[in-house]
Amino acid sequence: MKLASLKHRRDGKLILVSRDLTQAVDASDIALTLQDALDEWDTLSPLLQARYDALNDNNVAERFPFNPADCESPLPRAFQWADGSAYVNHVELVRKARGADMPESFWTDPLMYQGVSDKFIGPRDNIELCDEAWGCDFEAEVAVITDDVAMATPSEKAGSHIKLLMLVNDVSLRNLIPSELAKGFGFFQSKPASSFSPVAVTPDELGESWQENKVHLPLEVFLNGEQFGAPNAGVDMTFDFAELVAHAAKSRHLGAGTIIGSGTVSNLDRSKGSCCIAERRMLEILDLGSPKTPFLLYGDKVSIEMHDKEGRSIFGKIDQEVVPYR
């Protein structure tokens, strides 16, 4: 299935979106919001699936054209948003940029931070920035949404709790990070609201590209209309999504609707480009002695998308502009 949330009050109104992302149908009589659907997933998902199948078979009279600009992130807000760093190659590069060493444990135990989740940015809404000097950066990622996960669930069982997948733009304020982390208490001001793709999809929509709890497709990022990177999300992923979910659940229960991010997608093959500016700047330092690519400025436009092997968009496009906060 493909699900989205029309802008409506705080939590949106649930719709189903056709596989080709051209048509949609109201699903709010089954579950008013995506969170409602996740709360009763075993009961409601068969009803949603039946309507989704009818939509794709052109057997729904009430269908309407799908417009991503009318949508919030699939979960406009979430009870929990935890972002991992599954691509340890990326972590190593970004820490070098801050002059920080990387402990060997980073290769065996995932990093994870808990981000702001009371209001996400819509997939076609602007990124509001108070100060360009803060070093605004995009981070293109993949994320999963879980049902209820019991504390101490092992990774061998955690994969069965993954119900949906999305794309992410994890907005970061790079120049606020060093002094904040130096306090020894983690990210806060340096990690404002993130945004997610217009559509969340069930794993079966990915077909054979969903294997070993990884998405084996390129994640395409464009900055001001030029491709910035297209690394494969299934390559060089040190920790798969089942391991990330298990890590998050080590000492706590995860409620239905918990979002777990992969961290910035990154490949060792540098010809694939980067999914964030900080990584490119670090590579420029290593190659040229100094960074050349500036962080995001007002008016810059970022888009993030993933296509299947037939060239069809899977999640729709995150398409945003950086604007001054007034």
| Predicted confidence (pLDDT) per residue in 150-208, tens digit | 999 999 999 999 999 999 999 999 999 999 999 999 999 999 999 999 999 999 999 99
pLDDT given at position 97 = 66
| Pairwise pLDDT comparison (101 vs 40), residue with the higher score | 40
Q: What is the percent of the chain where pLDDT is above 90?
A: 91
User: What distance in Å separates the CA atoms of residue 174 and residue 23, rounded to the nearest whole number?
Assistant: 39
3-state SS, the chain, equals CEEEEECCCCCCEEEEECCCCCEEEECCCCCCCHHHHHHCHHHHHHHHHHHHHHHHCCCCCCCEECCHHHEECCCCCCCCEEEECCCHHHHHHHHHHCCCCCCHHHHCCCCEEECCCCCCECCCCCEEECCHHHCEECEEEEEEEECCECCCCCHHHHHHHEEEEEEEECCEEHHHHHHHHHCCCCCCCCCCCCEECCCEECHHHHHHHEECCEECCECEEEECCEEEECCECCCCCCCCHHHHHHHHCCCCCECCCCEEECCCCCCCCHHHECCEHHHHHHHHHHHHCCCCCCCECCCCEEEEECECCCCCECCCCEEEEEEECC
Q: Is the pLDDT of residue 220 over 70?
A: yes
CB under 8 Å to 248, separation ≥6 — which residues?
82, 84, 112, 149, 254, 258, 260
Q: Is the pLDDT of residue 301 over 80?
A: yes
The distance from CA 300 to its chain's CA centroid, rounded to whole angstroms, is 20
Q: What is the mean pLDDT of the chain?
A: 96
pLDDT band, residue 286 (cuts 50/70/90):
confident
Q: Kind of pairing, strands 200-201 and 195-196?
A: unpaired
Q: Is the pLDDT of residue 89 over 90?
A: no
75-79, 91-95, 119-123, 190-194: segment of lowest average pLDDT:
91-95
Instruction: Kindly state the tokens that stand for 263.
Output: 């961290």
Q: Is the pLDDT of residue 62 over 70?
A: yes
pLDDT given at position 318 = 98
pLDDT tens digit string along 223-265?
Answer: 999 999 999 999 999 999 999 999 999 999 999 999 999 999 9
